[in-house]
Structure 1
Amino acid sequence: MPLSSLPSLFLDDPSETARTGLRFLHFIGLAAGLGSATLLDLLLMRFFLRGEVSAERVAIFEFASGVVDAGLKLLWLTGFGFLLLYALTDPVKLENPKVHAKLLVVCILTLNGLFIHAVILPHLRRQAGRPLFEGMGHVQRTLFAASGAVSAVSWYLPVALGAFPQLNFTLPATQILTGYLLLVAAMTALTAAAAGLLSRRLAVQAGQAAEQGEAELPSVSRKSH
């Protein structure tokens, strides 16, 4: 094919060209958001749950959160573009329950992003030099666990829905969202339980360290005499 004929491939069918461009940008948003959200989950497990929160680790977390935000904004932009394109060229697709479910999931993902920036990131900064869950109660740990579960499930679900065209017009949005909420609840319960075990282990270690320090004090005082 001569290069001179390439423009005609895009100009002959403007609606298909617009759909292709939106799909390309949508995939970039998904890749950026999904990859960075997965990185954040791994950072929490590797750096925060197994060690102290440091300024360097918080900086990495903040950078990855910024990439997630950029991916989310691109999803909103391309999502509205798809809705407009469907309304102009193929209105039937607007009735697809999968589209309705994806829109609601992205709304939940956006609210979770606001929670991360308003609550989780400030907490991480305050915890510098200490373990992530030190001094946190059960409710706080559960909220953090729920935020992580929402982030993980909400990024992977749109990818799964987009990857399986067999789900178009087959499952009602209520069933998709029910499965989504069950996954979030299960992941929240597992993460909160793990955080609780870690918090209790840290408390036991702190108590043992305190007892050891108290036991060493008399021996040190006797040596001084």
Structure 2
Amino acid sequence: MTLSTLPGLFLDDPAESARTVLRFLHFIGLAAGLGGATLLDLLLLRFFVPGQAGAERVAGFEFAARVVDAGLKLLWLTGFGFLLLYALQDPLQLQNPKVHAKLLVVAVLTLNGAFIHMVILPHLRRQAGRPLFQGMGRMQRALFAASGAVSAVSWYTPVALGVFSQLNHAVPATLILSVYLLLIAAMTAVMLAVTGLLSRRFQQQTGGAGLG
């Protein structure tokens, strides 16, 4: 094989080439979203919960949120591309319960992303120079922890669904979503426990300055 024959590998089968391009872009979206979401959770636990929300840290958090948003948009774009390909070439794939579950998970990611941009980011800006949870009630803290859990679980779930081809046409969407919800509940409990521990430790270190 020579360099001149390489384009033929892609031009001989345009449909497969389109699928390859979509898959490549889909993986980029997943990588950006997963990496950014993981970074957001780590930033919350490392800086904002046990310490003060400085302007530089808020700016870093906002940048990571924009990366996640870009990954999510790419995920939707390529996802619709896959659905179009399935409709034209392999309609049976549209009946795959794994595809239905993945669409719902990405929809949850979208709603959670809106919550982050509309609620969490403005709160971080208002808390500049103060601890994240200062003046917040337990319900608000629980919502923030749940949002972090939803973000983490919902980004890892599409990756898992893409990797485990054994689930294709074999497991109902209700079972996949039930496991997904259980994971969110467990992760929320972990986030609440960790944020509570970090908040109490910060109170002790600062002589009990009110975190609310």
Instruction: State the match for 1:3 in structure 2.
Output: 3
- Larger RCO: 1 or 2 (CA < 8 Å, sep 6+): 2
- The correspondence of residues 24-173 of structure 1 with structure 2, limited to 5 A, is 24-173=24-173
Alpha carbons of 1:163 and 1:139: their partners in 2 closer, same or farther (altered >3 Å)?
same
Quote how far apart the aligned CAs of 1:193 are.
2.9
Quote how far apart the aligned CAs of 1:30 are.
0.5
Q: 2 CA distance for matches of 1:192 and 1:134?
A: 15
Alpha carbons of 1:117 and 1:208: their partners in 2 closer, same or farther (altered >3 Å)?
closer
Q: 2 CA distance for matches of 1:174 and 1:190?
A: 24
Instruction: State the match for 1:215 in structure 2.
Output: none
Alpha carbons of 1:209 and 1:115: their partners in 2 closer, same or farther (altered >3 Å)?
closer
Instruction: State the match for 2:187 in structure 1.
Output: 187
Q: 1 CA distance for matches of 2:106 and 2:89?
A: 24
- Gapped regions of structure 2 (runs ≥ 5): none
Assess if the C-alpha contact under 8 Å between 2:49 and 2:199 holds in 1.
Answer: no
The letter of the residue matching 1:161 is L
Assess if the C-alpha contact under 8 Å between 1:32 and 1:71 holds in 2.
Answer: yes
The letter of the residue matching 1:3 is L
TM-score, scaled relative to structure 1: 0.89
Quote how far apart the aligned CAs of 1:196 are.
3.2
Question: Higher mean Cα deviation, 142-151 or 128-137?
Answer: 128-137
Instruction: State the match for 1:174 in structure 2.
Output: 174
Query: Whose Rg is larger?
Result: 1
Quote how far apart the aligned CAs of 1:205 are.
6.0
Alpha carbons of 1:41 and 1:49: their partners in 2 closer, same or farther (altered >3 Å)?
same
Q: 1 CA distance for matches of 2:108 and 2:130?
A: 30
The number of residues matched between the two structures is 210
Alpha carbons of 1:42 and 1:199: their partners in 2 closer, same or farther (altered >3 Å)?
closer
- How large is the Cα RMSD of the aligned pairs? 1.6
Calculate percent identity across the aligned residue pairs. 77
Question: Higher mean Cα deviation, 196-205 or 86-95?
Answer: 196-205
Assess if the C-alpha contact under 8 Å between 1:138 and 1:196 holds in 2.
Answer: no
The letter of the residue matching 2:44 is L
Q: 1 CA distance for matches of 2:142 and 2:209?
A: 27
Give the 3-state SS of the residue equivalent to 1:78 in structure 2. helix
Question: Higher mean Cα deviation, 99-108 or 44-53?
Answer: 44-53
Q: 1 CA distance for matches of 2:206 and 2:4?
A: 73
Quote how far apart the aligned CAs of 1:79 are.
0.1
Q: 1 CA distance for matches of 2:92 and 2:121?
A: 42
Question: Higher mean Cα deviation, 40-49 or 66-75?
Answer: 40-49
- The correspondence of residues 194-213 of structure 1 with structure 2, limited to 5 A, is 194-202=194-202
Give the 3-state SS of the residue equivalent to 1:88 in structure 2. helix
Give the 3-state SS of the residue equivalent to 2:82 in structure 1. helix
TM-score, scaled relative to structure 2: 0.94
Assess if the C-alpha contact under 8 Å between 1:134 and 1:199 holds in 2.
Answer: no
